[in-house]
């Protein structure tokens, strides 16, 4: 069997193996992305760290960089800012950061969101604006939609509601074009929060309802992002609060019951406590101590001895006692709350606790003590503004388990039908695949052959130009004159014009290829003299040859020709530019030969 025949047989196998390698390169990143959307935060971190280890061991630095970005976001959600920033520093130092626009986008966005969570709004805006600009350059609608929403959130936090609304509207329009209901619901929810802040409760409720519809519809899809349940639970709470604020107590209590029902059935102990104490806070803020008492009793019932909410529960109880006029009981509960909050480093509750003590002291007309408590409250408020306080909430799927089971049954039935169809069409599929592989093999062989021929031609061209540079240099050394073949009379205008055009194009190709200037060319080639004038490097003789009004009457044509040969030999030039420059060079050499022949005769 000939070597060529063996190549044709083995080439498809090689190509198939290469395709498998390319496919497996992204498997670690895909696995990490899957666990992020379908697992609790701590489990996602564990599995992504495992995928990072595998990618690093296999030398897949690019995939490892993307996984580090995923992990940085996961650690940020856990408020592990140190580990998150450490990973982002590694990403910034990687080669992939320079090569990939999407990595630079995600890095700027992650840094910006980290500053946002720390309430460092100017810094957050700067980085998120950089991410926004990158998304515009990339012309990627998914990135643009996320970045518009990010900037809307920053301006919302800064109470710049006009710009916030503009960016939210831009994000919503882009997300509706994409059609991702999870994305659409997120921005609708943000628009609800903005209108609630502006006390436009009816508009806020309208946006909240639209967001809820989008989220619930999204959960009907296969392989949806499980984190949507956090958004749904927050929406129930927001709707309960907003309906109550708008005076629609009945509807507010309807959503309150829905929240309680959802939490009682779905959530763990800690999440129940969090939700119930939040509802108690709502009624405290609405000056409804009796209703608040019901929720806080439920929260206290579910709270265990190690619950991080114990300090806040005591604070809420103290607020209820204050509203009922029992200042002594309120003060007693606050004395229990403050040490617990200090142990948990809960500066927000500490700020509110001392402010409540300030109010009690004012009511009792103890102004000195009131001033001390107010000072303490302000100190903790400053700490709160300098750090992020965020509860890590997880909500579980609600009222769709039956539909999911039905979908699985239907999917299994379809799968059985497809299997029988696949068995019948398997032979045809194998034949088609074989034919495709043969075509790919022949195409690859042809491309490799053509590339090899092009490479050989380029090597020969470079070698020829190097030889011509040496030849011209040796001829000039022998004759001592650059114009021996040209009549001593002035060279014709057309000849000098061609020399100027040739040198100008040569310089342009040199600068484009090397990103350096004519001084660098003169020094490296040794063809032109470089002088120092007023402390600056200049190429006076070369400069004359790029201006038709300054080129000598008897030009040193060898210098121009040698320069072109040097650039063609030393620079990486596109084939079209190389052919164009060689054509001009040939025209000049033909003209010189013609003039030399005329002089000889």
**Coil vs helix vs strand at 330:** helix
Report which of 258, 252, 263 is spatially closest to residue 286, judged by C-alpha positions: 252
Q: Residues 2-25: what's their mean pLDDT?
A: 47
> Distance between CA 296 and CA 2 in Å, rounded?
86
Which helix (H) or strand (E) segment is 418 a member of?
Answer: helix 401-479
Spatial neighbors of 376 by CB under 8 A, at least 6 apart, are: 354
Q: Residues 556-574: what's their mean pLDDT?
A: 87
- Beta carbons of 561 and 588 less than 8 angstroms apart: yes
Give the tens place of pLDDT for each residue, 131-168.
Answer: 999 999 988 899 989 999 999 999 998 888 889 989 99
pLDDT of amino acid 127: 92
Report which of 540, 492, 535, 501 is spatially closest to residue 518, judged by C-alpha positions: 540
Report which of 180, 115, 98 is spatially closest to residue 150, judged by C-alpha positions: 115
Pairing relationship of beta strands 536-538 and 531-533 according to DSSP bridges: antiparallel
- Beta carbons of 349 and 311 less than 8 angstroms apart: yes
Three-state SS string over 43-62 comes to: HHHHHHHHHHHHHHHCCCHH
Give the tens place of pLDDT for each residue, 67-91.
Answer: 888 888 888 877 787 888 888 888 8
DSSP 537: E
Neighbour-count burial of 160, counting CB atoms closer than 10 A to its CB (0-12 exposed, 13-18 middle, 19+ buried): middle
- Beta carbons of 256 and 245 less than 8 angstroms apart: no
- 4 vs 348, higher pLDDT: 348
**Coil vs helix vs strand at 289:** helix
* Segment of 25-39, 416-430, 443-457, 545-559 carrying the highest mean pLDDT: 545-559
Q: Confidence class of residue 34 from pLDDT cuts 50, 70 and 90?
A: low
Give the tens place of pLDDT for each residue, 405-454.
Answer: 455 657 667 777 777 677 777 777 787 887 888 788 777 777 776 666 65
Neighbour-count burial of 454, counting CB atoms closer than 10 A to its CB (0-12 exposed, 13-18 middle, 19+ buried): exposed
- Beta carbons of 334 and 358 less than 8 angstroms apart: no
> How far apart are the two ends of the chain, measured CA to CA in Å?
63
- 173 vs 238, higher pLDDT: 173
pLDDT over 50 (residue 390): no
In degrees, rounded to 5, the angle at the alpha carbon of residue 142 between the alpha carbons of residues 131 and 40 is 90
Q: Confidence class of residue 241 from pLDDT cuts 50, 70 and 90?
A: confident
- Beta carbons of 49 and 28 less than 8 angstroms apart: no
| CA dihedral over 488, 490, 492, 496, signed as positive or negative | positive
pLDDT over 70 (residue 392): no
> Distance between CA 511 and CA 567 in Å, rounded?
10
> Distance between CA 117 and CA 79 in Å, rounded?
9
Q: Which long-range contacts (CB under 8 A, 24 or more apart) does 84-90 make?
A: 84/110, 84/114, 85/114
Helix 141-157 vs helix 101-117: crossing angle, to nearest 10: 20
**Coil vs helix vs strand at 495:** helix
pLDDT of amino acid 417: 72
Q: Confidence class of residue 484 from pLDDT cuts 50, 70 and 90?
A: very low
Two tokens, residue 270: 């800690």
pLDDT over 70 (residue 589): yes
Two tokens, residue 27: 């498997």
pLDDT of amino acid 258: 66
DSSP string covering 148-185: HHHHHHHHHHTT-HHHHHHHHHHHHHHHHHHT-HHHHH
pLDDT of amino acid 16: 46
Tokens 């995939």 map to which residue? 63
Give the tens place of pLDDT for each residue, 281-338.
Answer: 877 887 888 878 878 887 888 777 767 788 888 899 999 999 998 889 988 998 888 9
Give the tens place of pLDDT for each residue, 180-229.
Answer: 888 899 999 999 988 988 888 888 989 988 998 888 888 777 777 767 77
Three-state SS string over 431-494 comes to: HHHHHHHHHHHHHHHHHHHHHHHHHHHHHHHHHHHHHHHHHHHHHHHHHCCCCCCCCCCCCCHH
b/e per residue 188-209 (b: at least 16 CB within 10 A): bbbbbbbbbeeeebeebbebbe
Two tokens, residue 2: 């000939």
Q: Model pTM?
A: 0.43
Give the tens place of pLDDT for each residue, 84-116.
Answer: 888 888 888 888 888 888 888 989 999 999 888
- Beta carbons of 87 and 71 less than 8 angstroms apart: yes
Q: Residues 542-565: what's their mean pLDDT?
A: 88
Spatial neighbors of 281 by CB under 8 A, at least 6 apart, are: 292, 316
> Distance between CA 112 and CA 88 in Å, rounded?
12
> Distance between CA 601 and CA 589 in Å, rounded?
18
> Distance between CA 569 and CA 563 in Å, rounded?
10
pLDDT over 60 (residue 263): no
DSSP 199: T
- Beta carbons of 373 and 330 less than 8 angstroms apart: no
């Amino acid at each position: 069997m000939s070597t060529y025949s063996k190549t044709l047989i083995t080439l498809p196998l090689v190509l198939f193996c290469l395709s498998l390698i390319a496919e497996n390169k992204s498997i670690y990143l895909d696995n990490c992305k899957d666990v992020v959307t379908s697992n609790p935060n701590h489990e996602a971190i564990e599995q992504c760290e495992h995928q990072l280890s595998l990618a690093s061991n296999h030398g897949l630095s690019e995939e490892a960089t993307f996984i580090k970005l995923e992990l940085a976001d996961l650690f940020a959600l856990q408020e592990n800012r140190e580990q998150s920033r450490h990973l982002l520093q590694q990403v910034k130092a990687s080669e992939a950061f320079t090569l990939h626009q999407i990595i630079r986008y995600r890095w700027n966005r992650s840094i910006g969101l980290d500053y946002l969570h720390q309430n460092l709004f100017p810094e957050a805006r700067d980085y998120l604006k950089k991410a926004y600009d990158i998304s515009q350059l990339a012309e990627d609608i998914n990135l643009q939609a996320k970045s518009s929403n990010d900037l809307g959130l920053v301006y919302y936090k800064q109470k710049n509601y006009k710009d916030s609304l503009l960016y939210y509207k831009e994000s919503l329009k882009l997300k509706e074009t994409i059609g991702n209901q999870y994305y659409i619901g997120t921005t609708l929810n943000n628009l609800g929060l903005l209108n609630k802040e502006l006390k436009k409760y009816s508009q806020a409720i309208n946006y909240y309802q639209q967001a809820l519809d989008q989220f619930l519809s999204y959960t009907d899809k296969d392989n949806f992002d499980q984190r949507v349940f956090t958004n749904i639970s927050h929406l129930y709470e927001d709707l309960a609060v907003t309906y109550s604020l708008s005076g629609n107590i009945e509807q507010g209590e309807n959503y309150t019951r829905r929240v309680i029902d959802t939490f009682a059935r779905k959530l763990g102990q800690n999440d129940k406590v969090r939700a119930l104490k939040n509802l108690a806070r709502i009624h405290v803020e609405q000056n409804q101590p009796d209703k608040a008492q019901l929720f806080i009793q439920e929260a206290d019932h579910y709270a265990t001895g190690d619950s991080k909410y114990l300090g806040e529960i005591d604070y809420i109880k103290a607020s209820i006692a204050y509203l009922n006029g029992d200042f002594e009981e309120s003060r007693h509960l606050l004395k229990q709350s403050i040490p617990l909050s200090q142990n948990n480093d809960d500066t927000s509750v500490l700020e509110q606790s001392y402010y409540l003590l300030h109010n009690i002291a004012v009511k009792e007309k103890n102004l000195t003590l009131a001033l001390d408590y107010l000072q303490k409250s302000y100190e903790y408020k400053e700490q709160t503004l300098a750090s992020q306080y965020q509860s890590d909430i997880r909500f579980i799927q609600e009222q769709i388990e039956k539909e999911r089971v039905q979908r699985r049954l239907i999917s299994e039935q379809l799968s059985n039908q497809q299997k029988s169809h696949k068995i019948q069409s398997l032979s045809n599929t194998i034949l088609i695949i074989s034919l495709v592989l043969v075509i790919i093999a022949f195409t690859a062989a042809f491309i490799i052959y053509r590339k090899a021929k092009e490479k050989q031609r380029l090597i020969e061209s470079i070698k020829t130009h190097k030889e011509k540079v040496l030849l011209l240099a040796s001829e000039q050394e022998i004759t001592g004159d650059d114009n021996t073949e040209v009549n001593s009379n002035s060279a014709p205008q057309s000849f000098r014009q061609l020399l100027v055009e040739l040198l100008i194009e040569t310089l342009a190709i040199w600068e484009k290829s090397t990103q350096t200037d004519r001084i660098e060319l003169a020094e490296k080639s040794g063809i032109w003299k470089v002088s120092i004038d007023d402390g600056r490097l200049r190429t006076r003789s070369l400069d004359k040859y790029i201006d038709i009004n300054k080129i000598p009457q008897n030009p040193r044509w060898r210098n121009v020709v040698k320069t072109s040969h040097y650039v063609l030999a030393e620079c990486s030039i596109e084939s079209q530019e190389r052919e164009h420059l060689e054509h001009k060079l040939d025209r000049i050499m033909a003209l010189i030969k013609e003039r030399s022949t005329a002089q000889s005769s």
